[in-house]
Structure 1
Amino acid sequence: MRIGILKTGQPPGEIRAEHGDYDDMFERLLAGRGFDFTSYHVEAMQFPASVHDADGWLITGSRHGVYEDHPFIPPLEDFIRRAVAARVPLVGICFGHQIIAQALGGQVGKHPAGWAVGAQDYDFGDETISLNAWHQDQVVTPPEGAEVAAHNAFCANAALIYGDRAFTVQAHPEFRDDFIEGLMAHRGAAIPPALLDAARERRGRADPSPITDRIEAFFRHSRPAP
């Protein structure tokens, strides 16, 4: 099964050499599960020719806000709507979670309480999953028809499921603890020091394997033709 990774940003240059780019992180996360990968740097306006160029699509995180004026955002929203109509499965992470919601009629905004940084616990109904997070923006109002799959006190719409069309998660299963530490060092100036200290105390709590299993199962779910 071929997964197309739509890269909507890049990590800070100071840590990219050590950790790789966002597509590298997702390839590591999903390694050994029988997927092949092709990456498109959509932030740089590199888009697939068709939604059928892959069997499923994964939209990465980004330092951008989905509501900001960037050239790649309108064509990415159009691609999302076409993929949903064609029943080509979409997975969105952080920015990807937010842009899928916005493209389908939801609302995204900054949380008035500030940031979620480091390991956070999310209620998925049948289990609690701990994942690393790095965000201030979040889905405020889900699109019509989206089902809330996970939440916590800070993020009411922490994961959304759109039938068999899309599965999206606000947190970052692809972010390891050492990468979060790098972000705190190079993008943490605007975050209160006490919040960074609390994130360091939670190192080692995040376990991406349960959500990685869910992502794999979602991609492999059998779908009827549109």
Structure 2
Amino acid sequence: MKIGILQTGHAPDDLIRDSGDYDQMFCDLLAGQGFEFETFSVLDGIFPADAEAADGWIITGSRHGVYEPHDWIPPLEELIRQIHARKQPLAGICFGHQIIAQALGGKVAKFDGGWAVGPVTYQQDGKPLTLNAWHQDQVIERPAEARVLAGNDFCENGILAYGDHIWTLQPHPEFSNEFTGGLIEKRGRGVVPDPLLDQASRQLDTPVDSPAIATFLADFMKKERT
């Protein structure tokens, strides 16, 4: 099965050597599942010919906002709608979660409550799910067809689903605690309030549920659909 990775951002240069860029993180997260991957760096204007270029799709995170006037955002939204119409499996992470919601009629904005950084726990079916988060933007109005699968008091729309073929997640299962610590120092200082970054740094020994999400995501991509 071929997975197309729609890359919408780049990791900081100082961290890429050890962690790889955002597309590589998803290749590592889903390693051993039998997938073939191809990256399309859409933020650099590199798009697939159409939705048929892959069997399933992943949209990465980004430092950009989905509401910003970048030339590559409208064609990405159109591609999302094509994938949706074909009912191909599509997963969106952080920016990907938000751009899918926006493309399908929802609204994204900077959250009045501020930032979520580091290990954050969401409730999914009454059970805790802990993953690294890095965002101020949120889906504040869901598309009509979106279903909420997980959230918390800070982020109501933590995981959304559309039909049985689109699954989107606000936090980052591909971010290790080590990478998140690097983000705090390389990208967070001067942007996110220092007390929040310091609190997140103290929590970076918290176990995260990335392996469980990796298993779920692989099964989601491979699921037989009518």
Instruction: Supply the RMSD in Å over aligned alpha carbons.
Output: 1.0
Q: Whole-Å Cα distance in 1 between the matches of residues 143 and 82 of structure 2?
A: 16
For 1:128 and 1:55, locate their aligned partners in 2 and report how far apart those are by CA, in whole Å: 31
What does residue 173 of structure 1 align with?
173
Indicate if the aligned counterparts of 2:181 and 2:204 stay in contact, CA closer than 8 A. Answer: no
Q: Which residue of 2 aligns with 1:203?
A: 204
Deviation at 1:200, TM superposition (A): 1.4
Which residues of 2 match residues 122-201 of structure 1 at below 5 A? 122-188=122-188, 189-201=190-202
TM score, norm. by length of structure 1: 0.96
Residue 18 of structure 2 corresponds to residue 18 of structure 1: yes
Q: Measured at CA, do residues 126 and 32 of structure 1 come closer, stay the same or move farther in structure 2, by a change above 3 Å?
A: farther
Q: Is the 8 A contact 1:6 1:42 kept in 2?
A: yes
Q: Which residue of 2 aligns with 1:223?
A: 225
User: Aligned residue for 1:47?
Assistant: 47
| 1:98 and 2:111 aligned | no
Letter in 2 for 1:210: A
Matched residues, percent identical? 51
Q: Secondary structure at the match of 1:85?
A: helix
Deviations 1:15-48 (Å, cap 9, x if unpaired)? 2222111011000111111111111100011001
* In 2, Cα distance between equivalents of 1:126 and 1:219: 24
What runs of 5+ residues in structure 2 fail to find an aligned partner?
Answer: none
Hey, what does 1:58 align to over in structure 2?
Answer: 58
How far the C-alpha of 1:126 sits from its partner, in A, is: 4.8
Q: Is the CA contact 1:129–1:210 (under 8 Å) kept in the aligned structure 2?
A: no
1:54-100 CA distances to partner (integer Å, 9 max, x unpaired)? 11000000000000000110000000000000111110000000000
Structure-2-length-normalised TM-score: 0.96
Q: Cα distance, 1:204 vs. partner? A: 2.7
Deviation larger for 89-98 or 181-190: 181-190
Q: Deviations over 1:95-149 (max 9, x none)?
A: 0000000000000011111100000001111521110000000100110111001
How many residues are treated as equivalent by the alignment?
Answer: 224
Cα 1:199–1:43 shift into 2, 3 Å? same
Question: Which secondary structure state, in structure 1, belongs to the residue aligned with residue 148 of structure 2?
Answer: strand
Distance 2:123 2:85 in 1: 29
Structure 1 portions without partners, runs of 5+: none
